Structure 1
Amino acid sequence: MFRLALTILALFLISNYTLQAQSPVIADGTELNLVSDQFSFTEGPAADSEGNVYFTDQPNNDIWIYTIDGELNKFMDESGRSNGLYFAENGDLLACADAKNELWSISPHMVVEVLVDGYEGKRLNGPNDLWPDPSGGIYFTDPYYQREYWDHTEKEIEEERVYYLSPDREDLIIVDDDLVQPNGIIGSPDGNTLYVADIGDGKTYSYTIHEDGTLSNKTLFTEMGSDGVTLDEQGNLYLTGDGVTVFNQEGEQIEHISVPQNWTANVTFGGTNNQTLFITASTAVYTLEMKVKGAS
């Protein structure tokens, strides 16, 4: 009887450990998959309506596509040193074009429209990441990272801000200028909540979004900054830097994904079912199958 009791207890402990070891977000039994490590520095992953993922190789001035069929193709060179990307509802690719500190819209045929080239006559610091809201307006971060290909070495705008471009593209407004170095940005699919990672201050904030694009209720979400960010369908927030760290809606860490690179820059969901996590990390890009889908 004593041995039976010990056996039952051991089985219970093993079973309990297995349950605890299972990730709340990563598909059981899956492993990080290296797509390619042929790049200089990867950034800005964004999925189109079919699940193909576009990303930038920023130092080489290229935008690439990783298709739902597993093919890796170059989409565009001379891409304005694009960094962060996101797809608009009409299928155009929105890009933070760092070469001349601009915000671009790129058609499927690679026709470029410059949406923003400055603020009140001054050059932007360098649009870095962006998120279009459901109404068609665009939020973007504008930190300052000195680039070797720039002719200038000083800011024209001292503050490193978050801006909002109105849906009609007529008005550009400041929505937060009280940040050290805003970087990653993402909003909830319902358009009610915006998340901004202040990588310079090691913090990430949430905001309430209003109909006119302004923000209120700035709230500390977690004491961790991030380069890029994304959301899943459960409202979990994914932050990058040292791999990928996942937080639930209460700001509690629920997962950490180790990535074998010095820096993990950005992350998004893609694939045919919007259930593949696509990770840009230094010279490489990776995929990871998930239990959850990306927010959409």
Structure 2
Amino acid sequence: MTRLALAAGLCALFTACATKPQVAALTPAIPGVVSGGTPIEVIKEGFAGTEGPVTLPDGSLIFTETPANRITRIADDGSTSTWLENSNGSNGLGFTANGDLYAVQVLKTRVGIVHPPERARTLADNFEGAPFGRPNDLVVAKDGTVYFTDSGARLGPNDPKPTVTPAKPAVYRITKQGQLQRLADDITRPNGIQLSPDEKVLYVANTAGEHVLAFDLGADGKVGPKRNFAKLAGFRQTDTGPSSGADGLAVDAVGRLYVASTAGIQVFEADGTALGVIPLPKSPQNLAFAGRDKRTLYAVGRGSAYRIAALTSGLTERAK
């Protein structure tokens, strides 16, 4: 056996085998965000679903393969490995300051801690007796408050009808005291959710809408009225209704908002001004900053994972 064949055989035994990422495209210039001509690297394709990216303390990234019921890690060298099996169909992820990994989960619909195993527990699985339809994304505030979305049950033509009517699509908060509160139930399809760096604004992506939505958060816990924050490119009418494809959200250290959508990665100033779009080979579903200095922007979607060297950095005081 040649050395090359032996190396290939050993590589096949390990899921963490690294391959050099391929360059799929180059970015346009977005001042303060990316230089023009920055490579968009394809880390890997063929994942079983791609959602929920969040950084680990060592700068590596984990994301969810929801249909495969696992959480996958991307190391700095681009290698991938299974980080957690049997994730209960985890979708969006978020860490607390003490290292608890919170996840919205879709096999048994609930929100709770999935890691470490000795602290795993359910925080909420229904609202006023109605089970969640399809919890989608979450963000954990610095004080441990959890904000999450439930996009609502989306049954296929062959799926059995639920025996209990699920809760309608909504945005929720779980306080640090463990109280579940519904913040909004008038958004057609709430999806990605994010907090501004100062945690005074809550952003929500409405996949069926033309705008990213925002709610002002008071120091007393009060939530202001819903408002249109930024207009999305790529909004269109489809056979199933209007759609922008707006999905996961990220913020950088200076408060710019990043939106995964049909158009690509859309970037907005903190006042809602559109700065530009980074087109990707496949429409992204979610995104996050990672790397040891959090200056690498990762995007996942449609079974693929990408990364881009950024001019800015993500937040250091929160995992995302």
Q: TM-score range by the shorter chain?
A: 0.7 to 0.9
The residue type equivalent to 1:232 in the other structure is D
Alignment partner for residue 159 of structure 1, among 168, 178, 188?
168
Question: For structure 2, which runs of at least 5 residues remain unmatched after alignment?
Answer: 1-27, 233-243
What are the Cα deviations for residues 67-88 of structure 1, in whole angstroms up to 9, with x where unaligned? 2343311011211111111111
Matches within 5 A, 1:99-138: 99-109=107-117, 112-138=120-146
1:45 corresponds in structure 2 to 53
What are the Cα deviations for residues 33-82 of structure 1, in whole angstroms up to 9, with x where unaligned? 11110312211101123322110111111100112343311011211111
The residue type equivalent to 1:250 in the other structure is D
Contact 1:102/1:115, CA 8 A, preserved across alignment: yes
Alignment partner for residue 90 of structure 1, among 95, 98, 101?
98
Tell me if 1:254 matches 2:275. Answer: yes
Alignment partner for residue 222 of structure 1, among 230, 233, 244?
230
Going from structure 1 to structure 2, the CA distance change for 1:210 and 1:250 (only over 3 Å counts) comes to closer
- Structure 1 or 2, whichever has the larger Rg, is 1
Alignment partner for residue 30 of structure 1, among 38, 45, 50?
38
Tell me if 1:62 matches 2:70. Answer: yes
Alignment partner for residue 266 of structure 2, among 242, 245, 251?
245
Contact 1:146/1:153, CA 8 A, preserved across alignment: no
Contact 2:130/2:164, CA 8 A, preserved across alignment: no
Question: For structure 1, which runs of at least 5 residues remain unmatched after alignment?
Answer: 1-20
What are the Cα deviations for residues 172-215 of structure 1, in whole angstroms up to 9, with x where unaligned? 01111221111110002322111111112232112111245431
Q: Which moved more, 1:68-77 or 1:159-168?
A: 68-77
The residue type equivalent to 2:107 in the other structure is A
The residue type equivalent to 1:290 in the other structure is A
Residue 59 of structure 1 aligns to a residue whose secondary structure is: helix
1:274 corresponds in structure 2 to 294
TM-score normalised by length of structure 2: 0.79
Contact 1:166/1:213, CA 8 A, preserved across alignment: no
Tell me if 1:295 matches 2:315. Answer: yes
Overall identity of the aligned pairs, in %: 30
How many equivalent pairs are there? Answer: 274
What are the Cα deviations for residues 237-278 of structure 1, in whole angstroms up to 9, with x where unaligned? 1111222111112222212111111x3100000000011001
Report the Cα distance in structure 2 between the residues aligned to 1:281 and 1:132, rounded to whole angstroms: 22
Contact 1:164/1:213, CA 8 A, preserved across alignment: no
- The alpha-carbon deviation at position 144 of structure 1 amounts to 1.5
Contact 1:134/1:189, CA 8 A, preserved across alignment: no
TM-score normalised by length of structure 1: 0.86
- The alpha-carbon deviation at position 128 of structure 1 amounts to 0.4
Contact 1:83/1:98, CA 8 A, preserved across alignment: yes
1:18 corresponds in structure 2 to none
The residue type equivalent to 1:85 in the other structure is L
Aligned alpha-carbon RMSD (Å)? 2.1
Contact 2:197/2:254, CA 8 A, preserved across alignment: no
The residue type equivalent to 1:203 in the other structure is H
Report the Cα distance in structure 1 between the residues aligned to 2:153 and 2:51, rounded to whole angstroms: 15
1:14 corresponds in structure 2 to none
Going from structure 1 to structure 2, the CA distance change for 1:40 and 1:147 (only over 3 Å counts) comes to farther
